[in-house]
A and B are shown apart, each in its own frame.
Chain A
Amino acid sequence: MPLLTIEDVAVELPTPRGNLRAVDRVDLSLEAGRTLGIVGESGCGKTMLSRAVLQLLPKKAKLTGRVMFDGVDLVRLDSERLRQLRGRDLAVVFQDPMTSLNPVLTIGTQLMETIQEHLELDVAAARARSIELLAAVGIPAPEQRLAQYPHQCSGGMRQRIAIAIALSCEPKLLIADEPTTALDVTIQAQILDLLAREQRRRHMAMIIITHDLGVVAGRADEVAVMYAGRVVERAPTPALFKRMHMPYTEALLAAIPKLETAPHTPLPAISGRPPDPTRPLKGCSFAPRCRYAGARCHEAKPELKAAEMPDHLYACFHPIPVTEEVGA
C-alpha cells in the first residue's frame, strides 16, 4: 500500500470574481521512501495541492476528495489527531526561509519545541538532538546557533535550519515546497543534495514541488506535471525525460536556459498566460497556448491516461510525435 494516496482531490477558493478552482481532481500516489516531483508554473495549483495534503488550506477553501496518509484520511481526521501527525510523520519545508521561521524566537526554541511536542524527551535530550540535527544539515558551530535568531543567519543557513526542523521527528513524508526558489543559485544544489542525502538516510518519502524540471531531473523517482490545477502528465522520471508526450511538459523544459546555447538567443518562453482559474475552459486548458492544438482540443478535455507505457500517463489529444524528441 502506498504511503500517500491523493484521490480525486479538488480545492476551490471563493473569490470576488467567482469560485477559483485551484486544484482540479488530482490523483497521485507515493510509496514510502520514494520521491515525487510536482512541476508546474506559478499558479498551477502545486502549492495548493501540497497545502491540501498538509490540511493547511486557507479557511475559506473547499476541499473535496481523499488524502490517505499511512492508512488514515487526512481530510476527515479530527484536528487533535491531525496535529499529532503533523511535524512527526508529516513535515514540510516552505519556499521562503526568510518568512517561514519566527523572527522573535531563537533557532533553539523553534527546533526544540517540535521535538518536545512529539517525542518524549526532556530539555537536555531535546537540546542534544537539536545540535545533532543542525550538524546533520551542515550548520557549523550548531551549539552557538541555538541561541541565535533567524535574522542572524543567511538565507541558505535558514533553509538548512528549516530542513532540520522538518527532519526533527523522523517524518515518513517530507513535502518540500519550492525549497530552493528563494535561494542563491550557488546554494540551490547544496540544499537539494542535502534533502536527497537525508531522505536516503532516513528512508522517508518526499514530495518536491518546483517550477523547474531541472530540479527534479536527477532527484525524483516520478514526476507529475501540473497545469491549471490538473495533472497533465505523469511518469517515472527517466521515462518522462526520454519521451515527453504533453506539449506543456516539452515547453516547460525548453524554457529552462541552457549552458550550450549561444549568447543572446531568445529563451523559448511559453507564450500567453494560463487560463483564468475562475473561468474554466471547455477544452484542454493548455490549448490556447499550444502549437499542436487542433479543433478537438478546444472542445473537450483530454483525460489523464496511459498509452504505450502503463505508468506513463498524459492528458493530450495530440501528443508530441516520436520524431520530435527533446533531450534532457
Chain B
Amino acid sequence: MLNFVVRRLLAILPVLLAVSLLTFLIASLLPGDLAYVILGDQATPENVAALRRDMGLDQPLWWRYLSWLGHVLQGDLGRSFRTGQTVLQAVGERIPVSLQLMLMAEFIGLLIGVPVAIACAARAGGAFDRFMTGSAFAMLSMPSFLMAILLIYLFAVELHWLPATGYVPFTEEPLANLRFFVLPALTLALAEWPGIMRVLRSDMIATLQEDYIALAKAKGLKPSRILFVHALKPSSLTLVTVTGINIGRLLGGTLIVETIFALPGIGRLLVGAIYTRDLVILQGVVLLVACGFVIVNFIVDMLYAVLDPRIRHGHA
C-alpha cells in the first residue's frame, strides 16, 4: 500500500510541473503587454521600458518561467498590481466560499444521486427506473442559470423561505450562512445528481449480473445487504471518479452560480482578474486551482485502492 502511494505521488510531480508551465505560458502569451496594462494609455516609452526591466519582462521567456517557478516553490505567487493583495491572500479569502459551496453541492448531489441509482438498478427497466432516468436526462439538459432563476423564483420570491442573494461568513452567523448557501448549492446539485445517478446505475446493473451476486442470493442474504455490501462497493469506482472530477471543477469556482447568487468565491475572483487584466492573480489562481484538481485526483486514486483490494495489492 505504501509503495502504491509513493508511486502515485511520483506520478503527479511531472503533472504539476506541466500545469505550472501551461499556466505560465497562458498568462505570458496573452496579447497585450503587462507594462502597458499597468501604466495605462498615458505611459511614455521610457516608463514602459523601466517597468518592464523592473518586472523582468525584458528577460527571455524560459528565464522568466524559472524565476517565477522558483518564487512559487518558496510560496510566493506574486501580488496583484491593482489591489496590492498577494495571490495567496486573495485566494485565501475566497476559497472558503467556493469550498463550502462545493461541499454542500456535492453532498446534496450524492444524497439524491446514490439512493436513486441503487433503487433504479435494483429494478432496472421498471417504472421508477424509467421515470428517474428520464427526469435525470431532463435536468442534465437544463442550464444552471435557468435552474438558479427557477429556484430563486420559487423559494425566494414566492415562498420567501430562503434569501435570493448574499453572503455572510460561517464564523460570524452560521445559520444565516447556511441559508445563503442552500439555493446555490441546490442549483449545482440538481445538475450534479443526474451524472452521479447515471454512472452508478449502469455500473450497478453490470455488477448485479456478476456470479458473486448470484452466489450472494444463493447464500440467502437479505436484499439490502446484497445491494449495499456486495454490489455498491465494486460499483463505485466510476462514481468516485465522477465525484472527484466534479469536486475539482467546483473547486475552481462556479462562475455563473457565484455571480447569480452574489457569492464572493474563486469563480468571481477569476472573472474579475480577467476583466481587469490582473495577470498575476489570474496566473496564480489558475495554478492553485489546477494543483487542487491534481490533488483531488490523487485522493481519488487512493480511494480506488480503498474500494478494491486488487488495486491495493497491485493485481489489477
Binding site for B on A (CB under 8 A): 54, 56, 83-88, 90-92, 94, 96, 99-105, 113-114, 117-118, 149, 151-152, 162, 165
Flag if A105 contacts B229 (CB, 8 Å): yes
Q: Which 3 A-B pairs have the closest CB atoms?
A: A87-B220, A86-B220, A87-B219
The interface bits of chain B over 233-254 (1 if a CB of A lies within 8 angstroms of the residue's CB, else 0) are: 1100000000000000000000
Contact A96 B222 (CB under 8 A): no
Q: Is the CB of B216 within 8 A of A102?
A: yes
**How many A-B pairs with Cβ below 8 Å?**
79
Confirm or deny: B2 has a beta carbon within 8 angstroms of a beta carbon on chain A. no
In the complex, which residues of chain B have a beta carbon less than 8 angstroms from the beta carbon of A162?
A: 215
Interchain nearest-CB distance for A195 vs B (Å)? 16
Contact of A117 among B220, B307, B315 (CB under 8 A): B220
By a CB distance below 8 angstroms, the chain B residues around A100 are 211-212, 214-215
Contact call A118/B220, Cβ cutoff below 8 A: yes
Select A114's contact among B210, B219, B229, B313, beta carbons within 8 Å.
B219
Residue in contact with A103 in the complex, picked from B217, B222, B223, B234, CB distance below 8 Å: B234
Question: Is residue B309 contacting chain A, with contact meaning CB distance below 8 A?
Answer: yes
Contact check, B310 vs A149: say whether CB atoms are below 8 A apart. Answer: yes
- Whether A87 pairs with B218 at a CB distance below 8 angstroms is yes
Known A-B contacts A96-B211, A102-B212; the reply to A86 vs B229 at CB < 8 A is no
Asked whether B308 is an interface residue with its Cβ less than 8 Å from the other chain, the reply is yes
- B211 partner residues in chain A, CB cutoff 8 A: 94, 96, 99-100
Q: Which residue of A lies closest to B316 (CB)?
A: A151
From known contacts A96-B211, A99-B211, A102-B212, infer whether A86 and B218 are also in contact, taking CB-CB under 8 Å. yes
Once bound together, how far apart are the Cα atoms of A151 and B309, in whole Å?
Answer: 8
The reply to whether B310 and A83 contact each other, CB–CB distance below 8 Å, is no
Q: Is the CB of B219 within 8 A of A103?
A: no
Chain B 220-236 per-residue mask, 1 if CB under 8 angstroms from chain A, else 0: 11110100011001100
**C-alpha gap A94/B218 in the complex (Å):** 10
Q: What are 30 sample pairs from A and B whose C-beta atoms fall under 8 A apart?
A: A56-B214, A56-B217, A83-B220, A83-B221, A83-B223, A87-B218, A87-B219, A92-B215, A92-B218, A94-B214, A99-B212, A100-B214, A100-B215, A101-B212, A101-B215, A102-B212, A102-B230, A102-B234, A103-B234, A103-B308, A103-B310, A104-B308, A104-B309, A113-B225, A114-B220, A114-B221, A117-B222, A118-B220, A149-B310, A149-B313
- A151 proximity list for chain B (CB < 8 A): 309-310, 313, 315
**Chain B residues positioned under 8 Å from A96 (CB to CB):** 211
**In angstroms, how far is the closest chain A Cβ from the Cβ of B233?**
5
| Contact flag A113-B315 (CB < 8 Å), given A56-B214, A94-B214, A102-B230 | no
Min CB distance, A172 to chain B, in Å?
A: 13
Distance, CA A149 to CA B212, complexed state (A): 14
CA distance A103 to B207 in the complex (A): 11
Chain A, residue nearest B214 (CB): A56
> Within residues 280 to 316 of chain B, which ones have a CB less than 8 A from any CB in chain A?
307-310, 313, 315
Most buried by A among B212, B230, B234: B212
